A and B are shown apart, each in its own frame.
Chain A
C-alpha cells in the first residue's frame, strides 16, 4: 500500500559509496533537509520510495550522522547528557554534513565548527 509505505516507520538513507542505513523516520527528521525530502505530503521521489540517496555523504560520515540522530533523539529531553564521541578526523566532514542536512538542533555544527575553526586555522597558519 502506497500510504503505508509513505508513512512507514523506517526510512533508508544511502551514502554515495552505496552504504544503506535504515533509520527511524523520527530520527532522520532531526535533519531539516531530510525531513522535507521524506515528507509524505510533498510527493517527491524520495518520499514515495522512503529512501534518500545522499550523494554528498560517504558511508563513514553518514554512519556517524545516523548515530548522532539517535543520540539526539535519546537525549532530547535530558539536561545532562553525556558528550558523544567524535573522531577528530571526521570533524570537518561532519560539520559540512550538518550544514548540508540542516540538523535542526544545530548542536553538531556548532561543536564541530568550533573545533574545525581551530584545525582550519592550524592549516592556514601552517600553509605559509
Chain B
C-alpha cells in the first residue's frame, strides 16, 4: 500500500498507465468524508506523532464539511433553489445561475445525508417535465397531423411527398426533444455531480443521467399516443415506422434526409432497456433493429420474386450486388453500423440463398448462357455472391459440372457422328472382304483422313473447352480450389465417357509430332505437348492409351515420319513425369531398338562389304530389329505372319542377314514384317515411239515403294512385254495377304500419279479377275517418286479394329490383374475378399471391371494358386505356395 510515504507530501501524479490502478485504490477508501471507519490495521500505519497533530484543529470527519458544520441545512429551501435552476436549464436560461452555488447546494444535501431525497426529487421533477412538456408537444404534433393512422394503418390518399414531409417533421421534432433532453440532463448532471459521485456510487443507484434517460424512454418514447384508440400506439412505434418508411422510399429510389434519420437512430442507440445500460439491450437493438430486419426481409423477399419474374440472370446478380452495397452504405450513413452484418445476412438469405438456383438455371440468361458467352463479369459476380452464402458453392459447382458434361457430350456426339458417317461404308467393306477377299476395293482414300480429322477435331474441341473453362476459372472464379476439382471431375467424366478418347488423344499427339510441329517454336511445341498431357491426365484407362501410343509411335519411328527425336523424347519424359516410369518403359525400349537397329545396319553393311566379290549388283538392306514385347506387333496385321514369297535376290539377302544376326545373338528368332518395310527401286521405262517428246526417250526413275509393292513390281521383270498377271496369279506368286495386296495394287495401278501398272478393266476397285500390265508409257516430271500405300499412316481405327484392340487390351488386363492378385497374396498369404479387391484396384493403372477380377481369381483358384478359406464368416482367400 501507499503508507510508506513521508508525511504531508502529495504524491506526484502517476502516469496515465498507472491511472487505472490508482482509481481502484481510491475507490475503496471512498472519498467521502462522512463515513470513514477506523480499522486497527490502519492505526498501525500511523507515523505521525501526537505533537504534529496539535497544530491543526481537527474535527471528526463525520461532522466536518467545508460548510459551516453548524449551518442548518433545510432541504426544502435548498431543493427549491435547485429546482428553480433546473427549470432555467430546461428553458435555456442559465446565465443567471451560479454553477458553484447549485453545486454547493447539492453538495450540502449529500453531506447532510439527504442524497436519497434529492435523488427522488430530481426524478419526480424530470418525470413531470417530460410528461407535461416534452410528450405533450410531440403528441399535439401527432394529433394535428394524420401520422398515427399513417404509421399504423398505412396511408390512403396521402401522396408520397406528403408522407415524406410529415415524416420528416415528426423526426425533427423527436430529434429536437431528444437532443434537448440530453443537453439539459448533461447540465443537470454536472450540477449534481457530487450527488452522482457520492450518493449514487455508494448506494448503487443509476446515475442521474441514466435515470432520466430511462424516464425519457418510459414517459416519452414509450408513452401511448392515443390511449383510447383501438390499437395502443406508442411514440416509438410511430417513429420506427416513419423511419422504415423513409428507408423504403430510399430503396425505391427517392432521396431522403439521412442525417435526420441518423440522429433519430442515435436516440435509439443512446437508450437502453434497463438502467444497467447493457450494450446488448440498446433500444436500437431490441426494437428498431428487429423491425428493420423484418421489414427488409419482407421487402427483399418480394423483390427477389419479382426480379426472378421480370429480369434476366445478369441483371438479377448485378441488382443483388448493388443492394448489398446499398445496405452497407445505409448502415454507415443512415442507421447504425451495428446492423451491417445482420442486414447483409438478410439480403443474402432472401436474394441469394432463396433464389440462386433459379437464377443459375434461368433459361437463356443463366449460368449456361454466361459460360457459353464468356460473361466473365457476370460469372465473377455469381461466384462472389454464391461464395457469400456457401463456402462450398454447391449450386454453382453443380451447374458448372452439368454444363461441362453437357458440352463434352456434344463434342463426343459430334465426333461420333463424324466417325460413323465415314466408318459405316468402311465397316461394310471390311465385312465383305472377309467373306470374299477380292470382291470389293477399299473405301475411298479420304475416309481415313476424314476420320483422323474428326479425331483431331475432337481433341481440339476438348482442349478449347478446357481453355475456355480454365480462363473462366482463373478470371471469374478466383481460382477457386473446389471448383477446379469439380471442373476436372467433369472433364474426366465426359472424356472417359467417350470410348475413343485414348485413341484420339494419341492420334492428336501423333498428328502434332508428325508434321504439325515442324515449323513451330520450342514454346509452341511445349504448349501443345502440355495440352496433350493435360488431357492424358483425365484418361482413366491409361493402358489403352499406352497401347495406342505404342502403335502410333511405332509407325512414326518405322516410317521415319516423326519430326524429331528430341520432341519425341520430350513427350516421353513428360509422360514419365505424369504417369511414372513403368508407363514409359516400353516406349523407351522402342527408341532403343531403333538406335540399335541403326548400328546393326552399319555393322551389317561392313560385313557385306567384306564378303563382297563384286559379282552381283548389290542390294542394300537396312532393317529394324524390334523387341517383340516393346512393339505393338500384333496390331500391325495378324495375317502378316503368313510368309511372303520374296524374289530370289531379296530372299538371299534376307537369309544373309539372318545368318549374320543369329551369329551375333544366339537363341533369338527373327520374324520378318514385310508389311512394315519400304524399298527403293530403280526402274527403267523404254522408249515409246510415236508419242510426245516426254515418252520418246528412255526414262529412269527412282521409286520408293512398300516392300510388298516391290515384290509385286519385281514379278513384272520376268514378264515379256504385253503379258499380264491376274490378281489371283499375283496373289499365289507372292503370298501377300489379300488386303495388303489390294492396297498396294491400288496405289500402283489406280492412283494417277504413280500408275506403274495398268489394270484392266480400269476401275477403282480391284477384283480377283482383274489383269495387270506393266505401264510402259509411265512418265513423271520427278526423278524420285514415292508410291504411297493407301491408308498406311496412322488413322482412326474402324469399329471392328477397335473391338479387337479392346479385346487385346482386356486380355492384357487379365494378365495384369492375375499378376497383381498373385503378388498381393504371396505377400499376405491370407486375405478377405473385399480387402483383396481393394488392394488389386489400388495397384492397377486402369479402372478394372469387377467381374474381370472375379473371373481371374476364379481362374487362379482353378489353377491352384489360391484356395477359398472355408471356415470364415467373411469370404477369404489363401495363397497356395
Does A79 lie within 8 Å of B32, measured CB to CB?
no
> A42: nearest residue on chain B (CB-CB)?
B187
Does B66 lie within 8 Å of A57, measured CB to CB?
yes
| Bound CA span A79–B13, Å | 8
C-beta contact mask, A40-63 vs B, less than 8 Å → 1, else 0? 001111111000111111000000
Q: Would you give the shortest CB distance from B635 to chain A, in whole angstroms? A: 93
C-beta contact mask, B682-724 vs A, less than 8 Å → 1, else 0? 0000000000000000000000000000000000000000000
Enumerate B722-749 residues with CB–CB distance to A below 8 Å.
none
A86 within 8 A of B: yes
Q: A37-B100, A55-B104, A118-B48 are in contact. Are A88 and B8 (CB under 8 A)?
A: yes
Enumerate A26-45 residues with CB–CB distance to B below 8 Å.
32-33, 36-37, 39, 42-45
A95 within 8 A of B: yes
CB < 8 Å: which of B2, B33, B60, B197 contacts A111?
Answer: B2
> B9: nearest residue on chain A (CB-CB)?
A83
Q: Would you give the shortest CB distance from B112 to chain A, in whole angstroms? A: 14
B435 within 8 A of A: no
Residues of A within 8 A of B52 (CB): 88
Q: Can you list 26 residue pairs at the A/B interface with Cβ under 8 Å?
A: A33-B103, A36-B99, A37-B103, A45-B94, A45-B98, A71-B10, A75-B12, A75-B13, A81-B13, A82-B12, A83-B9, A84-B10, A91-B8, A100-B66, A106-B31, A107-B13, A108-B10, A110-B26, A111-B5, A111-B9, A113-B29, A114-B3, A115-B48, A119-B48, A122-B50, A123-B59
Does B42 lie within 8 Å of A118, measured CB to CB?
yes
C-beta contact mask, A66-88 vs B, less than 8 Å → 1, else 0? 00100110011111111111111
Does B97 lie within 8 Å of A119, measured CB to CB?
no
C-beta contact mask, B597-617 vs A, less than 8 Å → 1, else 0? 000000000000000000000
A8 within 8 A of B: no
Residues of A within 8 A of B19 (CB): 105
Q: Would you give the shortest CB distance from B110 to chain A, in whole angstroms? A: 11
Enumerate A96-124 residues with CB–CB distance to B below 8 Å.
96-100, 102, 105-124
B65 within 8 A of A: yes
Q: Would you give the shortest CB distance from B486 to chain A, in whole angstroms? A: 62
CB < 8 Å: which of A84, A87, A99 contacts B33?
Answer: A99
| Bound CA span A96–B58, Å | 13
Chain A interface, number of residues (Cβ within 8 angstroms): 70
B881 within 8 A of A: no
Does A95 lie within 8 Å of B33, measured CB to CB?
yes
Residues of B within 8 A of A23 (CB): none
CB < 8 Å: which of A78, A106, A123 contacts B22?
Answer: A106
Residues of A within 8 A of B26 (CB): 106, 109-110
Chain A interface residues (CB < 8 Å from chain B): 32-33, 36-37, 39, 42-48, 52-57, 68, 71-72, 75-93, 95-100, 102, 105-127
> A98: nearest residue on chain B (CB-CB)?
B31
Q: Would you give the shortest CB distance from B74 to chain A, in whole angstroms? A: 17
Residues of B within 8 A of A106 (CB): 22-23, 26, 31
Chain A to chain B: the 6 pairs with minimum beta-carbon distance, closest first: A81-B12, A89-B56, A56-B66, A83-B9, A84-B10, A44-B99
> B58: nearest residue on chain A (CB-CB)?
A123
> A105: nearest residue on chain B (CB-CB)?
B13
Does A119 lie within 8 Å of B53, measured CB to CB?
yes
| Bound CA span A127–B60, Å | 10
Chain B interface residues (CB < 8 Å from chain A): 2-3, 5-15, 19, 22-23, 25-26, 29, 31-33, 36, 38, 42-43, 45-48, 50, 52-53, 55-56, 58-61, 64-67, 94-101, 103-104, 107, 187, 190, 193-194, 197
Residues of A within 8 A of B103 (CB): 33, 37
Residues of B within 8 A of A68 (CB): 10
Q: A97-B66, A124-B60 are in contact. Are A107 and B2 (CB under 8 A)?
A: no
Q: Would you give the shortest CB distance from B23 to chain A, in whole angstroms? A: 7
Q: Would you give the shortest CB distance from A122 to chain B, in whole angstroms? A: 5
Does B14 lie within 8 Å of A118, measured CB to CB?
no
Does B33 lie within 8 Å of A96, measured CB to CB?
yes
Q: Would you give the shortest CB distance from B40 to chain A, in whole angstroms? A: 10
Does A45 lie within 8 Å of B99, measured CB to CB?
yes
> A123: nearest residue on chain B (CB-CB)?
B58
| Bound CA span A47–B191, Å | 13
| Bound CA span A45–B66, Å | 22
Q: A88-B48, A99-B31, A117-B29 are in contact. Are A111 and B10 (CB under 8 A)?
A: yes
Does A46 lie within 8 Å of B99, measured CB to CB?
yes
> Looking at B6, B8, B47, B58, which has the most chain A CB atoms within 10 Å of its CB?
B8
Residues of B within 8 A of A53 (CB): 98, 100
Does B94 lie within 8 Å of A42, measured CB to CB?
yes
Q: Would you give the shortest CB distance from A28 to chain B, in whole angstroms? A: 13
Does B11 lie within 8 Å of A111, measured CB to CB?
yes
Q: A81-B12, A117-B42 are in contact. Are A123 and B3 (CB under 8 A)?
A: no
Residues of B within 8 A of A57 (CB): 66
Does B46 lie within 8 Å of A118, measured CB to CB?
yes
Residues of B within 8 A of A109 (CB): 26, 31
Does A88 lie within 8 Å of B13, measured CB to CB?
no
| Bound CA span A115–B161, Å | 71
| Bound CA span A90–B61, Å | 14
Residues of A within 8 A of B101 (CB): 55
CB < 8 Å: which of A54, A117, A119, A122 contacts B100?
Answer: A54
| Bound CA span A55–B38, Å | 30
Residues of B within 8 A of A113 (CB): 29, 31
CB < 8 Å: which of B13, B45, B100 contacts A72?
Answer: B13
CB < 8 Å: which of B14, B58, B190, B194 contacts A107?
Answer: B14
Q: Would you give the shortest CB distance from A36 to chain B, in whole angstroms? A: 4
CB < 8 Å: which of B43, B97, B107 contacts A100?
Answer: B107
Residues of A within 8 A of B48 (CB): 88, 115, 118-119, 122
Q: Would you give the shortest CB distance from A27 to chain B, in whole angstroms? A: 12
Does A36 lie within 8 Å of B190, measured CB to CB?
yes
Does B7 lie within 8 Å of A88, measured CB to CB?
yes
Residues of B within 8 A of A47 (CB): 99
Residues of A within 8 A of B193 (CB): 32-33, 36, 102
> A46: nearest residue on chain B (CB-CB)?
B99
Does A77 lie within 8 Å of B15, measured CB to CB?
yes
> A55: nearest residue on chain B (CB-CB)?
B104
Does B8 lie within 8 Å of A85, measured CB to CB?
yes
CB < 8 Å: which of A36, A44, A107 contacts B10?
Answer: A107
CB < 8 Å: which of A42, A96, A102, A121 contacts B66?
Answer: A96
Does B58 lie within 8 Å of A44, measured CB to CB?
no
Does A37 lie within 8 Å of B99, measured CB to CB?
yes
Does A85 lie within 8 Å of B95, measured CB to CB?
no
Does A115 lie within 8 Å of B7, measured CB to CB?
yes
| Bound CA span A92–B33, Å | 10
| Bound CA span A52–B5, Å | 34
Does A44 lie within 8 Å of B56, measured CB to CB?
no
CB < 8 Å: which of B2, B11, B12, B100 contacts A55?
Answer: B100
Known A-B contacts: A37-B99, A56-B67, A72-B13. Give 13 more (CB < 8 A): A37-B103, A44-B98, A56-B104, A88-B8, A89-B55, A90-B56, A96-B33, A99-B32, A105-B13, A107-B12, A121-B43, A122-B46, A123-B60
Does B53 lie within 8 Å of A83, measured CB to CB?
no
Q: A96-B66, A97-B66, A111-B5 are in contact. Are A83 and B95 (CB under 8 A)?
A: no
Q: Would you give the shortest CB distance from A38 to chain B, in whole angstroms? A: 8
> A38: nearest residue on chain B (CB-CB)?
B99
Residues of B within 8 A of A71 (CB): 10, 12
Does A121 lie within 8 Å of B42, measured CB to CB?
yes
Residues of B within 8 A of A56 (CB): 66-67, 104, 107
Q: Would you give the shortest CB distance from A32 to chain B, in whole angstroms? A: 7
Residues of B within 8 A of A33 (CB): 103, 193-194
Residues of A within 8 A of B64 (CB): 92, 96
Residues of A within 8 A of B22 (CB): 105-107, 110
| Bound CA span A78–B8, Å | 21
Residues of B within 8 A of A96 (CB): 33, 64-66
Residues of B within 8 A of A102 (CB): 193-194, 197
Residues of B within 8 A of A93 (CB): 66
Residues of A within 8 A of B59 (CB): 92, 123
